[in-house]
Amino acid sequence: MQFNDFKLDARLQRAIQTAGYATPTPIQAQTIPAGLASRDIIGTAQTGTGKTAAFVLPILHHLLTKPAQSRSTRALVITPTRELAEQILTTIRQLAQFTNIRAATVYGGVGMQPQERALRSGVEIIVACPGRLLDHIERGNARLDGVEFLVLDEADRMLDMGFLPAVTRILSFLPRTRQTMLFSATFAPELSQLAVRNMRQPERIDVGLGVPAKTVAHALYPVPQQLKTPLLLKLLGQTDANSVLIFTRTKHRANRLAEQIERAGYTTTALHSNKSQNQRQAALDGFRSREFQILVATDIAARGLDIATISHVVNYDIPDTADTYIHRIGRTGRAERDGDAVTLVTSEDAATIRDIERALGAKIERRTIAGFDYTPPALPANETARPAGTRQGRGPGAPDRGGQGRFRQQDPNSRPHGGPPARRGPAPQRSSR
Ligand code: AMP
């Protein structure tokens, strides 16, 4: 299957070429024909699979070839996070670059007025987060009665974030006759109900649900909670750490860890929901441009972040669920590049690890770092007895790049926790989710 086979408008074909897309990805091969045939679609696709272009291209083609019924907005994409909204806007602008089609984003944390102007001017495509869009609708800024195409992106995430009532209310302002495409990694009963009520005989498209890219190598590093930071610094010192995304459980831990890593000599920034929109954008832009080697983030960054060059994802704190693990590590190994997914685990994480291994359909290799002192720090009274600096791997030290891009196992024979060797991608089988 080639892009030519879709018979897309020539201006879109030119944009596809300019973007450097050679052949359609599997989700594109299935979604684009169904989208062009005006079918409703329920799609499950792993992030980083080209899902955005899969829904954007048929919409752009319809906008170019079907005459507008009114001068109001014709396509609406609803998505859970601002970052995702901006990424979708970037893809739309790239693919619509040889057309006059305009698009704008609508989300909270920034001024209402530019969004109000965009909405009132009737830009053809709006990419919105639910809460702010509802604000605009209730203030009479947004006219959605001309919407012909609706996309609900990362619907499971919107459900998790409590956006379902807002989404349902937004849907009540849209014409019933429209094309709807819904993308979700999982289908909780609430989402199935939403689909049944709002879609017409949707075509189901499922490409390898939740199986991470085969180019990602997974590894677990068992470590006492108190030694996570020294172990992480040791790991960073052994690798070519120029694009590492690290996840923590809380905003506070993200800030604190970012400071500790910065002190160890790496350019580092943090991304979480307490940051202003400008700070969040600056963190992402700086990480993308390699101004920052390391980005420490909470799960807000786990979904949809599209940075092609991330070489390592580190779970400093284990994710709550196997789903979140898969979404987090979906940030690396994109576009067939190699990536490492490293998880620091404590004895309390055993049950979650079992869930993750079941979801991956494979056991993950347990690794230890030779020469790292795994003894938990003694009580303060004893601590003073230890001469400063004797604990290997503690304290910053100059990062030793070691000339290797991957986190390497220091002692290949040392696998006290058992487990098979790291594999390049687990077998593509799934447990129920
Ligand atoms: P997405 O899954 O939509 O976040 O897309 C992931 C990345 O793949 C984006 O950087 C796209 O620009 C890129 N991409 C999308 N479609 C293709 C394609 N057919 N060939 C190569 N890259 C693509």
Q: Is any atom of ligand 1 closer than 6 Å to the C-beta of 25?
A: yes
Residues facing 105 on adjacent strands: 127
Task: State residue 349's pLDDT score.
Answer: 94
Q: Is any atom of ligand 1 closer than 6 Å to the C-beta of 335?
A: yes
Beta-sheet strand order (sheet of 179-183): 103-106, 125-128, 75-78, 149-152, 179-183, 41-45, 203-207
Closest CA to 194 of 226, 172, 214: 172
Task: State residue 261's pLDDT score.
Answer: 96
How far, in Å, CA of 253 to CA of 247, rounded? 9
Task: State residue 136's pLDDT score.
Answer: 95
Q: State which ligand 1 atom lies nearest to the alpha carbon of 25.
A: 19
Q: State which ligand 1 atom lies nearest to the alpha carbon of 52.
A: 3
Tell me the CATH number for domain 216-421+427-431: 3.40.50.300
Q: 132-138 — which CB contacts under 8 Å span 24+ positions?
A: 132/106, 132/107, 132/108, 133/78, 133/106, 133/166, 133/170, 134/166, 134/169, 134/170, 135/108, 136/106, 136/112, 137/170, 137/173
Task: State residue 311's pLDDT score.
Answer: 78
User: Ligand 1 centre from 15 Cα, in Å?
Assistant: 13
Instruction: Let me know if the fold of 3-207 is the same as that of 216-421+427-431.
Output: yes
User: Ligand 1 centre from 18 Cα, in Å?
Assistant: 13
Task: State residue 202's pLDDT score.
Answer: 93
How far, in Å, CA of 316 to CA of 313, rounded? 9
Closest CA to 46 of 424, 327, 338, 300: 327
Q: State which ligand 1 atom lies nearest to the alpha carbon of 94.
A: 12
Any idea which architecture 3-207 has in CATH? 3-Layer(aba) Sandwich (3.40)
User: Ligand 1 centre from 16 Cα, in Å?
Assistant: 11
Q: Are strands 312-315 and 179-183 parallel, antiparallel or unpaired?
A: unpaired
User: Ligand 1 centre from 157 Cα, in Å?
Assistant: 21
Residues facing 142 on adjacent strands: none
How far, in Å, CA of 332 to CA of 327, rounded? 10
User: Ligand 1 centre from 26 Cα, in Å?
Assistant: 11
- Residues sharing a CB contact under 8 Å with residue 370, sequence separation 6 or more, in sequence order: 410, 411, 414
Q: Is any atom of ligand 1 closer than 6 Å to the C-beta of 306?
A: yes
Q: Is any atom of ligand 1 closer than 6 Å to the C-beta of 46?
A: no
Could you tell which of 25, 88, 89, 127 is best to mutate to test the pocket of ligand 1, judged by most ligand atoms within 8 Å of the CB? 25
Tell me the per-residue pLDDT of 327-355, one tens digit each, with 9 for 90 and over: 787 666 554 456 688 999 999 999 999 98
- Residues sharing a CB contact under 8 Å with residue 168, sequence separation 6 or more, in sequence order: 194
Return the amino acid letter for 328.
Answer: R
Task: State residue 368's pLDDT score.
Answer: 92
Task: State residue 418's pLDDT score.
Answer: 34
- Residues sharing a CB contact under 8 Å with residue 33, sequence separation 6 or more, in sequence order: 6
Task: State residue 386's pLDDT score.
Answer: 40
Question: Which two structure tokens, joined as six digits, stand for 161?
Answer: 């974030």
User: Ligand 1 centre from 150 Cα, in Å?
Assistant: 21
Q: Is any atom of ligand 1 closer than 6 Å to the C-beta of 330?
A: no
Task: State residue 238's pLDDT score.
Answer: 84
Q: Is any atom of ligand 1 closer than 6 Å to the C-beta of 324?
A: no
Total residues found in the chain within this entry: 433
Q: Is any atom of ligand 1 closer than 6 Å to the C-beta of 21?
A: yes
User: Ligand 1 centre from 49 Cα, in Å?
Assistant: 6
Q: State which ligand 1 atom lies nearest to the alpha carbon of 19.
A: 12
Q: Whose CA is nearest to atom 4 of ligand 1?
A: 48
User: Ligand 1 centre from 332 Cα, in Å?
Assistant: 13
Question: Which two structure tokens, joined as six digits, stand for 233?
Answer: 């610094």
SS3 sequence of the chain: CCHHHHCCCHHHHHHHHHHCCCCCCHHHHHHHHHHHCCCCEEEEECCCCCHHHHHHHHHHHHHHHCCCCCCCCCEEEECCCHHHHHHHHHHHHHHCCCCCCCEEEECCCCCCHHHHHHHHCCCCEEEECHHHHHHHHHCCCCCCCCCCEEEECCHHHHHHCCCHHHHHHHHCCCCCCCEEEEECCCCCHHHHHHHHHHCCCCEEEEECCCCCCCCEEEEEEECCHHHHHHHHHHHHHCCCCCCEEEECCCHHHHHHHHHHHHHCCCCEEEECCCCCHHHHHHHHHHHHCCCCCEEEECHHHCCCCCCCCCCEEEECCCCCCHHHHHHHHCCCCHHHCCEEEEEEECHHHHHHHHHHHHHHCCCCEECCCCCCCCCCCCCHHHHCCCCCCCCCCCCCCCCCCCCCCCCCCCCCCCCCCCCCCCCECCCCCCCCC
Q: Whose CA is nearest to atom 20 of ligand 1?
A: 21
Could you tell which of 21, 28, 46, 84 is best to mutate to test the pocket of ligand 1, judged by most ligand atoms within 8 Å of the CB? 21
Those residues of the chain that have pLDDT short of 50 are: 209-211, 335-336, 382-406, 408-433
Q: Is any atom of ligand 1 closer than 6 Å to the C-beta of 31?
A: no
Q: Is any atom of ligand 1 closer than 6 Å to the C-beta of 49?
A: yes
User: Ligand 1 centre from 196 Cα, in Å?
Assistant: 29
Domain boundary assignment for the chain: 3-207, 216-421+427-431
Task: State residue 336's pLDDT score.
Answer: 46
The answer to whether residues 129 and 82 touch, using CB atoms and an 8 Å cutoff, is yes
User: Ligand 1 centre from 124 Cα, in Å?
Assistant: 23
Residues facing 340 on adjacent strands: 217, 312
